[in-house]
Amino acid sequence: MRLVYLDTMNWVRLVEPTERWTTARLATLRERLAAAETRGTFGLTIGASCFDELARLHRGNRVLFGLVIHNAKSLVRNRVLRSLSDLSTLEVLGRGRLVGREPFLGSQERRSLWALMRNQREVGDGAGVVAERVAAFSAEEAARRDQAVRELGDDRVHGLRRWWTDSASHIDEWTATHLAAAWSNHLPPDRSEWPPPSDLRALRGFFAYKLGRIMMNVGEGRRVDAGDYFDAEHFACAAYCDYLVTDDTSFRATATAIGRAAPALCSLEDLEELLS
């Protein structure tokens, strides 16, 4: 079965008709997804970052929030990905990429999560915590952008593009630096025994996206956006899937610039075609 990761906006799109995505078209797409699940060809997944982002939606439209959660629960079955923090922890302590059911929540954890999503008060309180994390992430990204601008000087556009030609090495270096700072007490003294960054699919993906956004913010003059936080987590967690579905142009541009081989990047229309 090929696993499909939808970003949050596409989870919303599945239940919110528009002129382009009519009620009938969405119903057909959901039916095809269910049929693909039955055949064992495609299966949807959802990650903790989606729930965090949906918590913000809960504040503005509780009815739509409820529809999204109900639809997601019916479609993803037992494929709820662990949080980025949990995935990274398991990767580091297990010395490499996760296999089988390891990236996904167990049955009791899933039941607790879906129960939490039905608790209006808990979801509302969680939205405030998420907002704080988003603000901290955006401030850090803005600081890194400003630092890069100062260091590169007047030739920052060409300088950053030249720097990005060796992006894989920079991503590996940043990931390794994080390992040394955050995990050295849990890893062998001999660093040659540490897992290579390439084996830490979610953790490396997170730093890859952060570096990609810095390149876009400085080299392409793009602004730091609050959605960058969630996009970084989507990009990281989707490393354990075959397809990452997003129609966000900024997200797609950053993911394309990073050039990760898998998962394949596609739109909701691309997914519709794959299922036809």
Over residues 72-94, the pLDDT tens digits come to 999 999 999 999 999 999 999 99
Q: In the predicted model, what is the mean pLDDT of residues 177-184? A: 91
Per-position b or e across 89-101, b if 16+ CB within 10 A of its CB: bbbbeeeebbeee
Please state the pTM of the whole predicted model: 0.88
Mean pLDDT of 152-168: 74
Chain segment 236-268, per-residue pLDDT in tens: 999 999 999 999 998 999 999 998 878 999 999
Q: Where are the domains of the chain?
A: 2-275
- Residue 155 pLDDT class (50, 70, 90 cuts): low
